[in-house]
């Protein structure tokens, strides 16, 4: 793909995204990850244009990079612009390309992290490098934060930074990060740009069933595996009640207005078909969810183990954490114990104010037909950790996407990729937003 007609900042965002993908920074969970090489790249990229950054190592190889840019008016509250440096694993045999190739093919940049979230990291770096070369100062102080460990609960990343180095974020009141400002094409070609103003809470839990160990050939009515699988099946097949947050209602009201469809606050599910590739993710924000993700038991075919365990990925709507936990307790029965692996809060903030106005204006400058809307993310971001410092976070990493591109399938998916022209749109929009917020 010929990118020579693009501006310098657009070309640089593309090249940096490719570079970042080519540095594997895989997070395997349970403390097994290494962001050191990609963190070194970020520091070097900033240093090349005279921006000093500091690396904070929370554990061997678990690296966070921080820098502060002085604004024109440092008396204003600062803005945290953050991304994470880690990516989830990729099984190369499942991919049609090398997962860490960073190649451009069919108008896309391919590789693990292309959308989650090295594209945003690249847009941030390209923007501030452009400022440094031209001597531009943003309207207020900006803290650049590139976190470790977001893909495994942020224990070695944003949560560690907030707990151990809160001074880095001193004076900041707001933040932006991933999974927001992307377009979804609806009826008549109208484009909604989804700005993340809420995210579900997280409760990853380990279920452990104990029973009577014994020979596999004899009857056993205290089989730990049976007890566990009954509990896992009950959770996996449970139908959760619909719970509509303020953000979800606001989103679907705008979807109804844009498409001419009926808005029924008692049941929003009929409108899901109007939001294209986002339907699966948006559908998960209409209720609590709990998905079995891991099983572990036994060591030999003819031995009944004395215990068995499973992992459940629970996510809760703001205000409905107790409902999630109480329902799980009811479903698992008396012979299964629950242990929390990771727990983090749900977030919800209003779709209003100066920062939101600046996001909407930046999007509409690049796409005058855009319809900015709020939405709730089914997953979570590092905004959860920053909320502990009173920092209000939004998802804003803008991308203009073709109607047929299944953006949500790219997150943790096989053949992850991001459109080159979408990334070019994104860096232009992000730059304009940061210069007018």
3-state secondary structure of 224: helix
181: its two tokens = 């400002």
- pLDDT for the residue 187: 80
Average pLDDT over residues 220-234: 96
At 6-26, the pLDDT tens digits run 899 999 999 999 999 999 999
- pLDDT for the residue 217: 95
At 374-433, the pLDDT tens digits run 999 998 999 999 999 999 999 999 999 999 899 999 999 999 999 999 999 999 999 999
pLDDT at residue 1 tops 90? no
Q: Angle formed by the axes of helices 420-434 and 118-134, to 10°?
A: 50
Cβ neighbours for 182, distance < 8 A, ≥ 6 positions apart? 193, 194, 397, 398, 399, 400, 401, 407
Range list for CATH 3.40.630.10 in the chain: 8-179+381-434
Say if residues 279 and 286 touch (Cβ distance below 8 Å). no
**What average pLDDT does the chain have?**
96
- DSSP E strand boundaries for 287-335: 289-297, 303-304, 307-316
Angle subtended at Cα 272 by Cα 269 and Cα 276, rounded to the nearest 5 degrees: 170
- For the chain, the straight-line distance linking the first and the last C-alpha, in angstroms and rounded, comes to 34
- For 382, the enclosing helix (H) or strand (E) is none
Range list for CATH 3.30.70.360 in the chain: 201-239+287-344
**Closest CA relative to residue 79, chosen from 387, 437, 357:** 437
- pLDDT for the residue 242: 97
Task: Compute φ and ψ for 81, nearest 5 degrees.
Answer: -110, 110
Q: How far apart are CA 332 and CA 335, in angstroms?
A: 8
- CB burial of 77-98 (b: ≥16 within 10 Å; e: otherwise) equals ebbbbbbbbbbbebeeeebeee
Provide long-range contacts, Cβ within 8 A and 24+ apart, for 52-59. 53/144, 56/160, 56/161, 56/164, 56/165, 58/148, 58/149, 58/156, 58/157, 58/160, 58/161, 58/164, 59/31, 59/156
Task: Compute φ and ψ for 429, nearest 5 degrees.
Answer: -70, -45
Q: How far apart are CA 420 and CA 184, in angstroms?
A: 17
2: its two tokens = 């010929």
**pLDDT band at residue 3, thresholds of 50, 70 and 90?**
confident
What is the longest distance spanned by two Cα atoms in the chain?
78
pLDDT at residue 4 tops 80? no
Q: Which architecture does CATH list for 8-179+381-434? A: 3-Layer(aba) Sandwich (3.40)
**Closest CA relative to residue 165, chosen from 251, 244, 64, 266:** 64
pLDDT at residue 342 tops 80? yes
Within 10 Å of residue 141's Cβ, how many Cβ atoms?
22
At 292-308, the pLDDT tens digits run 999 999 999 999 999 99
pLDDT at residue 185 tops 80? yes
Say if residues 204 and 418 touch (Cβ distance below 8 Å). no
Percent of residues in the chain assigned helix, strand, coil, to nearest 5? 35, 25, 40
**pLDDT band at residue 30, thresholds of 50, 70 and 90?**
confident
Look at the domain 201-239+287-344 and name its fold. Answer: Alpha-Beta Plaits (3.30.70)
């Amino acid at each position: 793909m010929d990118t020579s007609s693009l501006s310098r900042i657009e070309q640089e965002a593309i090249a940096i995204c490719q570079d970042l993908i080519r540095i594997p920074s895989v997070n395997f969970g349970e403390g097994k990850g290494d962001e050191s090489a990609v963190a070194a790249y970020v520091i070097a990229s900033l240093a090349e244009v005279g921006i000093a950054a500091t690396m904070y190592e929370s554990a061997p190889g678990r690296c966070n990079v921080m820098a502060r840019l002085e604004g024109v008016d440092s008396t204003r509250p600062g803005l945290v612009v953050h991304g994470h440096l880690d990516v989830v694993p990729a099984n190369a045999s499942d991919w049609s390309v090398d997962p860490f190739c960073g190649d451009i093919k069919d108008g896309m940049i391919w590789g693990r992290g292309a959308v989650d979230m090295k594209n945003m990291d690249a847009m941030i770096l390209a923007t501030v490098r452009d400022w440094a070369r031209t001597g531009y100062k943003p309207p207020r102080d900006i803290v650049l934060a590139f976190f470790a460990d977001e893909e495994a609960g942020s224990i070695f990343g944003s949560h560690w930074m907030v707990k151990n180095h809160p001074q880095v974020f001193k004076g900041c009141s707001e933040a932006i990060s991933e999974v927001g400002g992307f377009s979804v094409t609806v009826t008549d070609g109208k484009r909604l740009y989804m700005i993340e103003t809420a995210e579900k809470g997280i409760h990853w839990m380990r279920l452990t069933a104990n029973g009577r160990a014994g020979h596999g050939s004899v009857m056993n009515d205290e089989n730990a595996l049976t007890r566990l699988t009954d509990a896992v099946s009950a959770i996996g097949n449970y139908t959760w009640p619909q719970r509509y947050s303020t953000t979800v209602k606001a989103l679907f009201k705008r979807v109804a207005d844009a498409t001419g469809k009926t808005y029924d606050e008692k049941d929003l599910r009929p409108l899901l078909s109007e939001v294209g590739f986002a339907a699966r993710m948006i559908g998960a924000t209409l209720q609590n969810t709990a998905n079995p993700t891991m099983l572990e038991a036994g060591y030999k075919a003819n031995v009944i183990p004395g215990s068995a365990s499973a992992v459940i990925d629970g996510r809760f709507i703001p205000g409905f954490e107790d409902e999630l936990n109480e329902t799980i307790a009811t479903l698992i029965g008396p012979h299964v114990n629950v242990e929390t692996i990771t727990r983090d809060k749900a977030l919800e903030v209003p779709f209003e104010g100066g920062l939101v106005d600046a996001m909407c204006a930046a999007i509409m400058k690049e796409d005058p037909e855009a319809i900015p809307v709020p939405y709730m993310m089914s997953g979570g971001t590092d905004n959860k950790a920053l909320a502990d410092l009173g920092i209000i976070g939004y998802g804003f990493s803008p991308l203009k996407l073709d109607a047929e591109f299944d953006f949500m399938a790219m997150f943790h998916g096989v053949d992850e990729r991001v459109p080159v022209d979408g990334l070019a749109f994104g860096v232009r929009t992000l730059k304009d937003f940061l210069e007018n917020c």
